[in-house]
Amino acid sequence: MIKDREQKAKILRYCAAKEWFPQLEVGLQPIGALKKISPLVTDLDVVASIQDDFEGVKNIVFDCKTKSKESPVNRALWLRGVLDRFKAGQGFCILRRGSFIELDHRLSANKFGIILLSEDEFDLFADVTSRNYKKAKGHICSIDAWDMYLDIGVKYTKLQPVILFNRSGYWMIEDAAEACRKTLSALISARPELDPSKVVHSALILDLAALFSRSLAIILYNIFKAYLHPGKESDLSDALRMMLYGGRDAYDYRNTLYKKYLQSQRGDQFAAVDLSMPEWDRFIQLIRQLLDSPTDAPRIPLILRELSFAYMVNSSDYEYARQLCSKSPQAARFAVLVVDYLCRAGKLPPEFQKIIEGTLLSIQPS
C-alpha cells in the first residue's frame, strides 16, 4: 500500500489542476549496475511531466517527508542529487503538517531548485498557483486507483515486468527514442498474457500508450525543430530511422546485424528488409499527422492515463478526460491515432482496439 497517502493525494490533485502527467513511486535505478537485478537506489514519491515549448516535456520531482529526524535542508540537498540523476529541473520537498522550516534554509534550497514547504503550506502554494486546485478531480487523483495500478503485477504475476518497466525502467531511459522502442517492446512482450475480457488489461494498454505518447512528443519536437514539416515522406522516414536508432553510424551497424539475422533465420529474400519499428508506414503516417500540431502532442499522455485509471476502477465517469479533450481537440484526436498504431504494431487482439477506441471516440469534443 502506498505510504504518505494524504500528501501524495494533494500532489496528484495539484497535477490534475495543472494538467501535468503524474507518476507515483518511481524506482530510481543505479547508474551502470553490475548485477543483473540490482536493488533500487530509492523511490521517488511523485514525478510530474509538464509541457515544455522547446523540449516537448520536462520533469519535476515531489518528495514527501514525514519523519522528523532529518533536517529540511538536508532533505533538500538529497533531493538535489536526485534531480541531477533524473535530469529534472525543479523539486518540491513537502514536510509533515506544522513543520518549522528556517527561512535561510528555504532560501538556500530555492537556489538549487528545491521548494521547501510543509503540508499545510503546500495547500496555500497550490491554491495560489492553480485556481482549480481545490475543485480538481480525475481518476489520476485517486490513491486507491494507484494502489490498484501498482498491484497489477501481484494479481497477474506474468505482467509484473511490465509494471516494473512502467514505474521504473521507462523513467530511467534518458533517450526518448529508446524509451519509445522499449515501451512498444514491453507491450509486445505482454501480449500473450492480455485478455480483452479483463478491463484491467485494457487499462494497462492505455497506460503503456500514455508512456509511448510521452516519448513520442519529445521525438516530435526534435523533428519539428529540425525539419518543421518535411516535404518528402522519404526525408521523414530517413530522419526517424536515424533518430530512433542513435544516428547514422549506430543505425548502419544495427541494420547490418538485423539483416544478417533475418538472412540466417528466413533466407536471402529477407536480407533487403531494413531495420525499423513495426508497422513502419503507419508510424511515419502517425508522425506526419502529429506534426500538424506538435504543441498538442504533450497533452496526449494525460488523456490516455486518465482513461486508463477510469478503467482501473471500472468507472464510466470520463468527465476529467472530456475536459482535457475539450481544451485540446487535436490531442484528443491524436490519442486515437496513437492507440490505433500501438494496437496494430503490437498485434493485439482486435477487441482491445475496438474497446479503447470506442471510449476515446465517445469523449471527443463535438
CA angle 317, 320, 324 (to 5 degrees): 135
Average pLDDT over residues 136-144: 95
Instruction: Give the three-class secondary structure for 246.
Output: coil
Per-residue pLDDT band for 269 (boundaries 50, 70, 90) equals low
**pLDDT of residue 252 exceeding 70:** yes
Where is average pLDDT lowest: 188-192, 267-271, 302-306?
267-271
Q: For residue 183, give the amino acid letter.
A: T
Average pLDDT over residues 83-104: 89
Our measurement of the distance from residue 179's CA atom to the centroid of its chain's CA atoms, rounded to an integer in Å, reads 10
C-alpha cell at 85: 540523476
Q: In what order do the strands lie in the sheet with 21-28?
A: 21-28, 42-52, 56-65, 90-95, 114-118
pLDDT at res. 118 = 92
Tell me the three-class secondary structure of 66-121, residue by residue.
Answer: CCCCCCHHHHHHHHHHHHHHHCCCEEEEEECCCCCCCHHHHHHHHHCCEEEEEHHH
Quote the DSSP letter at residue 38: P
Average pLDDT value over all residues in the chain: 92
Where is average pLDDT lowest: 102-116, 150-164, 253-267?
253-267
Q: What's the rounded Cα separation, in Å, for the pair 169 and 200?
A: 21
Read off the pLDDT of residues 211-245 as tens digits, 9 standing for 90 and up: 999 999 999 999 998 887 777 888 889 989 999 99
Other beta carbons within 10 angstroms of residue 70's beta carbon come to 11
C-alpha cell at 205: 494498454
322 versus 274: the higher-pLDDT residue is: 322
What is the longest distance spanned by two Cα atoms in the chain?
A: 72
Our measurement of the distance from residue 65's CA atom to the centroid of its chain's CA atoms, rounded to an integer in Å, reads 24
Q: What's the rounded Cα separation, in Å, for the pair 168 and 187?
A: 15
**For the purposes of burial, counting CB atoms within 10 Å of the CB of 229, is it exposed (0-12), middle (13-18) or buried (19 or more)?**
exposed
**pLDDT of residue 20 exceeding 90:** yes
CA distances from 225 to 124, 158, 206, 295 (A): 38, 41, 28, 12
Q: What's the rounded Cα separation, in Å, for the pair 336 and 45?
A: 30
C-alpha cell at 241: 530511422
pLDDT at res. 144 = 95
Per-residue pLDDT band for 67 (boundaries 50, 70, 90) equals low
Q: What's the rounded Cα separation, in Å, for the pair 245 and 256?
A: 13
**Strongest mean pLDDT among 136-145, 232-241, 256-265:** 136-145
Domains of the chain by range and CATH?
5-136 (3.40.1350.10), 143-362 (no CATH)
Q: For residue 53, give the amino acid letter.
A: D
**pLDDT of residue 265 exceeding 90:** no
pLDDT at res. 206 = 98
**pLDDT of residue 271 exceeding 70:** no
pLDDT above 90 coverage of the chain, percent: 73
pLDDT at res. 66 = 63
Average pLDDT over residues 343-359: 97
145 CB-near residues (< 8 Å, 6+ apart): 139, 309, 312, 313
Q: What's the rounded Cα separation, in Å, for the pair 336 and 201?
A: 18
Quote the DSSP letter at residue 166: I
Q: What's the rounded Cα separation, in Å, for the pair 107 and 114?
A: 9
Q: What's the rounded Cα separation, in Å, for the pair 262 and 93?
A: 51
Q: Report pTM.
A: 0.94
Instruction: Give the three-class secondary structure for 123.
Output: helix
Where is average pLDDT lowest: 135-144, 260-269, 273-282?
260-269
